[in-house]
Structures are given as C-alpha cells and as structure tokens.
A = this chain, B = another copy of it.
C-alpha cells in the first residue's frame, strides 16, 4: 500500500471514534469500492467509509473539508460511466448501509428513502400497497436509489413513465462542508425559488452527498401484458414503433434488439426468437384489467401492418418475466463473448435513427469492427456496442467510438442518454457542450462545493492546473 498522506491519517484518527470498523483502509475493503460496471480500471481509494446515518456523513464531510480530503459517493457500483471510481488519496463514502425506507405514503404518492435502498426494494414495498416506483434501470435488482438520483437513471419503462428526474420531489443533500440542505417538496406540485433539486439529479456526486430522497410513487396499473415481435431489421422495427406512437398508444416498454444482440442471447434465453429475425421488439402495455391486453393486441396489429414478421404474446407472468429476462441478458451475454466491448448509450432525435444506423454501420464495419445495437427504441436511446474481445481490438475501436459520439452530436443527439459522463465520457463531453458552458457549470458546482472536494475529476475534465 502506498504511504498515506498526513491529511488522510489525521482524518482516519478523527473519524475512528465516529465510524469505528465502518472506516477501513485494508486492501479487501478498498477493492470492494474501487470499480463499477464501466469496464474502466478500478481505482484504489485511501479509505472507505460505510456511514449508517446522516450525522455520520456530516461528521465525515466536516473533517474532510477542514483537511481538504476529496470524497467519492458510492451506491452499488453498478454505474456504467466510472462516476464512482476513486482516485488515489480520495475517500469513498459507500451508502449501502443507509438502506432504510423511512416513509412509505401511498396516499400521498411518495416514499422517503435513504440513499442505499435498492431500486427493486422500493418498487416491491410500494407494490404491497398497489403502487410502483417506475424507473427501472437494467441493474434494478442491485442498484441503489441514491445512485439512481445521482445519475438520473433511465430504464425500460421510461418510454411511458419517464426517467428518474420525474420522480424526485426532494433530496437531503450534505455538502462537502457538512452543511445540510433540505431541497424540494412533499406535495405533487410546488414551485418556490430555484429548483436545486433538479440540479442535484444527474449531478453524479459532484455537488454533495444525497442522504435522503423523497420519491414519487404511483398506483400500479392492475394489468401488464408482454409480447415480442420480429422484423427484417432495426429500421423496420423503428418504423413500426413510430406508427404505434402516432396512433396514441403509449406502451410501458418498447425495447429493440438487433441481430447480433439476438445471437448473443439465444443460447441463454428461455424465449425462442426465430433465427431469421433481423430485429426484435419487446413491448409491454399496462392499464386497467382487460385494457392492457386490448392495447397490446391493437399494437401487435399495427406492427403487423407495418411489417412485423412473427409475434408472441406471453400467457402467464412467468412467460412475461422470461421475455424481460431475455432482454436483460443482452449486456452480460455480449460481455461474455466480447470481453473488451465498448458500450455507449447514445440518444438521437427519433427521425435520425435511420441515419444513425446507416452511418454507424459504415463507420464500424468499414474498419472491420463488429457492432451491436439494442435498447430503448421508444426513447431514441440506443446502446451501441463495439464488439471487441482483446485490448488491441479495443484500442483500434476507440477512435471509431469517438467518431460515433461525434456523429450522434451531429445528428442533434446526446453522447449519453442515461449512463452519464463520469470518467468514461469526461474527455469527450466537449463534443456536446462548449467549454464556456462547462466552465459555468463548474462555477455553479463551486457554490455548493467551494473547495472542489466532491467527486473531483468526474464529469468535468480536469483543469490544466490539476
């Protein structure tokens, strides 16, 4: 282990009485909090803390502030942008032990949670009252709500229900200084002053620690129905989607998988997607009893008119779950086959989807790099993967990735639809945002974090001085 700085040693000494064995510097502990799902190399923090209360977070922040020690908030480490990977000399604050649902108030349409509550845990708790928490990122079985808020997480149900931002009514934020801010509201509506709550959503840990969130829950529709439909290719699937939306249908899920994605999951999926399928749509509807199925049938008919080749509707909950599981297998199956794949989640205006596909294919295949696209078709948010197996292939693919991101911006889109910037896209964020705007954002950050101790080096490219 590297020699620790005096600041860190002092911090450890001062915090030992507060955090006890929940403040650790051993290699095993540091390994646990070093990486995420970005594929980027893990980092080694100077120490890691597992607070169980806001007061502990405040105590830690205060001491770190005085000593100038940088801090990295962490949820379950399921992020895909490296936003929780620590640098040397930094202290990770892992919120997995702050995992209580403090209030669950279906009548008032909200829950108050600690940041370490797992996404699925809230959704399940809400479901016992006939409610749901809509945002469902791919990692919903393990990711935490604090992380969801910090990254403005999306998910498959976003096409109908929107992303995390729509569900965040308020947050309690502990600043780097230890100051506690209670932001937002507990009523459905409410305006008053600048909306700092929305500023915190998606800020990737750069403004402060989220120690509590007030999240909107909604009545769960009684019925959910699921189907898959196949198409000649992704463009045909996309055209069918447009037609469905144009007729006023709003499915709760509209996921696409291209041929390589289908090939990757076929050996594992419990669903037998036809071999000749060039693309597959996974569609879910929900609503009052009876309506969900009527809607799904109407959608299937529109899709068939628009060129769908085959379709299947799930009869039972276990079939529905098998279909969803098949879709969720894509990321891990690809990873298994292409260990060094580069995964981006770009978003474009929907009408540019065809151009994105054509030009991305040209770019990737022109350099002999196999690729794969799947994801949230209804949102214009696709996971584009460059399928690399070796480090050498990945190196060759990197410039293509950069061109793909530039292409996305040229098409009027965003370099990240939902994964965030973190470390992974920090150095390409200027493809999308001009430097003066980033500088202004940093000034806003500085109001809340004047010493620059909150998750330094994430989102914003380091300044020359750093």
Complex: chain B residue closest to A187, CB-CB: B347
- Determine whether the beta carbon of A201 is less than 8 Å from that of B195: yes
Binding stretch for chain B, among A35-43, A324-332, A438-446: A438-446
* Contact flag A188-B108 (CB < 8 Å), given A219-B246, A246-B219: no
Q: From residue A224, how far is it (CB to closest CB) to chain B in Å?
A: 11
Binary per-residue interface labels of chain A (183-223) against chain B in the complex, 1 for a CB within 8 Å, 0 otherwise: 10111111111111011011100110000000000011110
Q: Pick the most buried of A166, A194, A198, A445: most chain B CB atoms within 10 A of its CB.
A: A194
Q: From residue A457, how far is it (CB to closest CB) to chain B in Å?
A: 14
Residue A178, interface by CB 8 Å: no
Which residues of chain B have C-beta atoms less than 8 A from A459's C-beta? 193-194
- Determine whether the beta carbon of B192 is less than 8 Å from that of A416: yes
- Determine whether the beta carbon of B198 is less than 8 Å from that of A195: yes
- Determine whether the beta carbon of A412 is less than 8 Å from that of B165: no
Which residues of chain B have C-beta atoms less than 8 A from A31's C-beta? none
Query: What's the tally of chain A residues with a CB closer than 8 Å to chain B?
Result: 90
- Determine whether the beta carbon of A350 is less than 8 Å from that of B130: no
- Determine whether the beta carbon of A440 is less than 8 Å from that of B350: no
- Determine whether the beta carbon of A222 is less than 8 Å from that of B193: no
Residue A144, interface by CB 8 Å: no
- Determine whether the beta carbon of A165 is less than 8 Å from that of B288: no
Complex: chain B residue closest to A436, CB-CB: B179
Q: Report the separation of the CA atoms of residues A414 and B191 in the bound assembly, to the nearest whole angstrom.
A: 7
Q: Pick the most buried of A165, A207, A219, A445: most chain B CB atoms within 10 A of its CB.
A: A219
- Determine whether the beta carbon of B433 is less than 8 Å from that of A189: no
Residue A437, interface by CB 8 Å: yes
- Determine whether the beta carbon of B380 is less than 8 Å from that of A189: yes
Which residues of chain B have C-beta atoms less than 8 A from A182's C-beta? 434, 437
Which residues of chain B have C-beta atoms less than 8 A from A448's C-beta? 440
Residue A124, interface by CB 8 Å: no
Q: Report the separation of the CA atoms of residues A152 and B288 in the bound assembly, to the nearest whole angstrom.
A: 31
Name the contact of A186 in the complex, choosing from B219, B246, B412 (C-beta under 8 A).
B412
User: Quick one: which of A301-345 are within 8 Å of B by CB?
Assistant: none
- Determine whether the beta carbon of B130 is less than 8 Å from that of A417: no
Binary per-residue interface labels of chain A (414-454) against chain B in the complex, 1 for a CB within 8 Å, 0 otherwise: 11111111000100010011101110110111011000000
Name the contact of A152 in the complex, choosing from B107, B191, B295, B347 (C-beta under 8 A).
B191
Residue A298, interface by CB 8 Å: yes
Binary per-residue interface labels of chain A (10-25) against chain B in the complex, 1 for a CB within 8 Å, 0 otherwise: 0000000000000000
- Determine whether the beta carbon of B433 is less than 8 Å from that of A187: no
- Determine whether the beta carbon of A192 is less than 8 Å from that of B433: yes
Residue A72, interface by CB 8 Å: no
Q: From residue A356, how far is it (CB to closest CB) to chain B in Å?
A: 11
Interface residues of A (CB under 8 A from B): 105, 107-110, 130, 151-152, 154, 158, 162-163, 165-166, 179, 181-183, 185-196, 198-199, 201-203, 206-207, 219-222, 242, 245-249, 287-288, 291, 294-295, 298, 347-352, 376, 379-381, 412-421, 425, 429, 432-434, 436-438, 440-441, 443-445, 447-448, 459-460
Given A163-B189, A192-B420, A193-B421, output 13 extra A-B contacts at Cβ < 8 Å: A108-B350, A108-B352, A185-B413, A187-B414, A188-B350, A188-B379, A190-B413, A191-B202, A193-B460, A195-B201, A199-B199, A220-B248, A440-B447
Provide 16 A-B residue pairs closer than 8 Å at the C-beta atoms, listed in order of the A residue: A105-B349, A109-B350, A187-B381, A188-B347, A188-B379, A189-B376, A191-B414, A191-B420, A192-B416, A192-B420, A193-B433, A194-B441, A198-B199, A199-B199, A291-B294, A447-B447
